[in-house]
Chains A and B, each alone.
Chain A
Amino acid sequence: MKKYLAVFKINLLNSLAYPAELVTRSAMILLFMWVFFQLWHITFAAAGSDTINRLTLRDTMWYLLLAETLELGRPRLARVVSEQVKDGSIAYLLNKPYNFLLYQLSSGLGESLPRMGMLFILGGALVWVMAGPPPDLVNWPLALVALAGAWLLHFCVNSLIGLSAFTVEEVAPFEWIYQKLVFILGGMLIPLDFYPAWLQTIARSLPFAYMMYGPARLFVLPDMQLFIQILTGQLFWFAILGGLLLLVFSRGMKRLAINGG
């Protein structure tokens, strides 16, 4: 376990090597949150009500902030792994005595945490000014647990896409599709609560809702029943996606062709 902690640490150091870059890159969340605020401000005004399906404007904004933090702060593992395969640097990652997937996990976490932290702080400051204070502190623990679960699911899907580079050359299209599915069916652009019932049912039976909607919704409107539902869903999808990942990795190793001869 110590070695994975060390991998986490060096990635953390690496992402902090250029603090100015970290801040500048994270600052784009300000633009997104501003646009979201304008959009939902008008929508709520047009609806003529303080709440839409139990969510207030303030709830919606903090929901979107958490969703954006996760989306922009999660490691771009699909791209990272496929780059490693393409440029051959994976050779160095595979010839060390550790589990390759756990290595990617700890390295992704080290890269992701500072970014997510920065995104949340910057974006949160703006949302606070525009829409009001953050949800009550008692909401945070449940949301954090669900956030960790969501992050893990993202890790699995991303690694699966990245590992497909072992056999296909370009993974960008898969990544694009996955991202758009998270946008729509994960409730990243619009909270799932605002969807018609039939679409909500579809979304809830797919993994994407557990990768985005779950933690964001628990953050603004916590509810023990929802928490258990989300956690169970996450465990279920983690078992499936994680199992698939192990299978694809062990089979992929046999087919790996490394560029740069």
Chain B
Amino acid sequence: MLAIQVTGLTKTFHTKQKAAGLGASVHSLFRPEYKTVEAVRGLSFEMESGELLGFIGPNGAGKSTTIKILTGILFPSGGEATVLGYVPWKQRQKLAYHIGTVFGQRPQLWYHLPAIDTLTLFGKIYEMDDRETRHRIAELAEAFEITDLLETPVRKLSLGQRMRCEVAASLLHKPKLLLLDEPSIGLDVVAKQHIRDVLREMAKQENVGVLLTSHDAGDLEALCKRVIIINHGQIVYEDKVSTLKRSFLTSKLVEVRYAEQVPIDFQIEGTETLKVAKERYGAKLRFDTRTTPVEKVMVALSAAGTLMDITVSDPPLEEVIAAIYKQGASPFP
């Protein structure tokens, strides 16, 4: 079953324009000029129920606008969409019982009250009975490790703690679909990792579909199987995260550490030395898998000295996305 089906979705905003200065202000009072911004331009995509789909793009690409249309908050200017079988902007309240949302930049927890108060309120709003709410809160509190934080006023929590409570709150009513708009914004690495792990676990356990927008390629790599990249309101790439990596991540990064010091001009054939560690016990290299097989590099590296440690990794997804952006909206394999 499809959780989301979007066909030819468009959204146009008309914003008032005003040049600088008093004269222009007076002028705009009598003859306002409007600028048309096409935030979403003919977007079409589908999402299976229980799927983890990443939705990424630069600022102003139309990600949040799309999410807001899919939750029923914004009316589209054109096109069609169904979410869990509902037309969001016509059946907003009915749909609301089945979806959870987190807008990373906007807290939904009551700032001056402990999180437990907001959770209890949500229980009532989603018409859960009190026992069910209590049970569910305990369950989520354990999963997100927030049991000890529930009684503390939200304003006294760290951002990471607060976000864990936010995500837990969005899962309270057991939604079938979770729409996450920048859930990891501003979090440190550990906090991000924690949220990702729990989300992945919960999604699997409860078969919740997750549509995630993010700037952070790490969110995508950790959570999503499939990715849609949008720019200027249009889809520029849509495929599996693994395919994305295979077709665009043709280079590998290698970090090595040796038992003895390496020469300052450390070189391995077929690779580019990015950096030799300060104490010269290790180095960081990059190579292209199309010209240099991984195996060959490994052999050469181990021949260069007594290996203590070695890590091979893909370059961060940001680089891939940047490469795609550079190519604009041209089609991709």
B64 to chain A, nearest CB (A): 5
Using an 8 Å CB-CB cutoff, how does the interface string of B105-129 with A read, 1 for contact, 0 for none? 1101010110001101110111100
Q: Chain A residues near B71: list those with CB within 8 A.
A: 91, 94-95
Cβ of A81 under 8 Å from chain B: no
A254 to chain B, nearest CB (A): 5
Cβ of A6 under 8 Å from chain B: yes
Give the docked Cα–Cα distance between A20 and B122 (Å): 28
Cβ of A18 under 8 Å from chain B: yes
* Residues of A that sit less than 8 Å from B by CB: 2-3, 5-7, 9-10, 13-14, 17-18, 87-92, 94-99, 169, 253-258, 260-261
B125 touches A92 (CB 8 A): no
- Contact (A91, B73) CB under 8 Å given A6-B120, A97-B96, A261-B64: yes
Give the docked Cα–Cα distance between A122 and B43 (Å): 59
B117 touches A10 (CB 8 A): yes
B112 touches A14 (CB 8 A): yes
* Residues of B that sit less than 8 Å from A by CB: 13, 15-16, 39, 59-60, 64-65, 68, 71-75, 89, 92-94, 96-97, 99, 101, 103, 105-106, 108, 110, 112-113, 117-118, 120-122, 124-127, 153
A90 to chain B, nearest CB (A): 8
Q: Chain A residues near B75: list those with CB within 8 A.
A: 253-256
Give the docked Cα–Cα distance between A96 and B117 (Å): 16
Q: Chain A residues near B65: list those with CB within 8 A.
A: 261
Number of A-B contacts (CB under 8 A): 89
A7 touches B103 (CB 8 A): no
- Contact (A258, B73) CB under 8 Å given A3-B124, A6-B120: yes
Q: A97-B127, A256-B74 are in contact. List 20 more A-B contacts (CB 8 A).
A: A2-B124, A5-B124, A6-B125, A14-B113, A91-B73, A92-B108, A94-B71, A94-B72, A94-B73, A94-B92, A95-B99, A96-B96, A96-B125, A97-B96, A169-B16, A253-B89, A255-B75, A258-B74, A260-B64, A260-B105
- Contact (A17, B97) CB under 8 Å given A7-B121, A10-B118, A91-B73: no
A17 partner, pick from B101, B105, B112, B121, beta carbons under 8 A: B112
A91 touches B103 (CB 8 A): yes
Between A and B, 7 residue pairs with Cβ closer than 8 Å are A10-B118, A13-B117, A87-B106, A88-B103, A91-B103, A95-B96, A97-B127
* Nearest 10 interchain pairs by C-beta: A6-B124, A97-B96, A17-B112, A95-B71, A92-B108, A3-B125, A3-B124, A94-B73, A254-B75, A10-B121
B151 to chain A, nearest CB (A): 13
Q: Which chain B residue has the least Cβ–Cβ distance from A88? A: B106
A92 touches B103 (CB 8 A): yes
- Contact (A10, B110) CB under 8 Å given A91-B103, A98-B125, A254-B75: yes
Q: Chain B contact residues: over half helix, strand or loop, or mixed?
A: mixed
Q: Chain B residues near A10: list those with CB within 8 A.
A: 110, 113, 117-118, 121
Q: Chain B residues near A257: list those with CB within 8 A.
A: 13, 15, 74
B124 to chain A, nearest CB (A): 4
Give the docked Cα–Cα distance between A261 and B66 (Å): 10
Q: Chain B residues near A96: list those with CB within 8 A.
A: 96, 122, 125
A3 touches B101 (CB 8 A): no
- Counting chain A CB atoms within 10 Å of each CB, the highest count among B16, B71, B74 belongs to B74
A18 touches B112 (CB 8 A): yes
B113 touches A13 (CB 8 A): yes
Q: Chain A residues near B89: list those with CB within 8 A.
A: 253
Give the docked Cα–Cα distance between A185 and B288 (Å): 79
Q: Chain A residues near B92: list those with CB within 8 A.
A: 94-95
B180 to chain A, nearest CB (A): 13
Q: Chain A residues near B127: list those with CB within 8 A.
A: 2-3, 97
Give the docked Cα–Cα distance between A98 and B125 (Å): 7
Q: Chain A residues near B72: list those with CB within 8 A.
A: 94-95
B62 to chain A, nearest CB (A): 8
Q: Chain A residues near B68: list those with CB within 8 A.
A: 91, 258
A261 touches B73 (CB 8 A): no
Q: Chain A residues near B99: list those with CB within 8 A.
A: 95
B121 touches A91 (CB 8 A): no
Q: Which chain B residue has the least Cβ–Cβ distance from A169? A: B16
A98 touches B121 (CB 8 A): no
A95 touches B73 (CB 8 A): yes
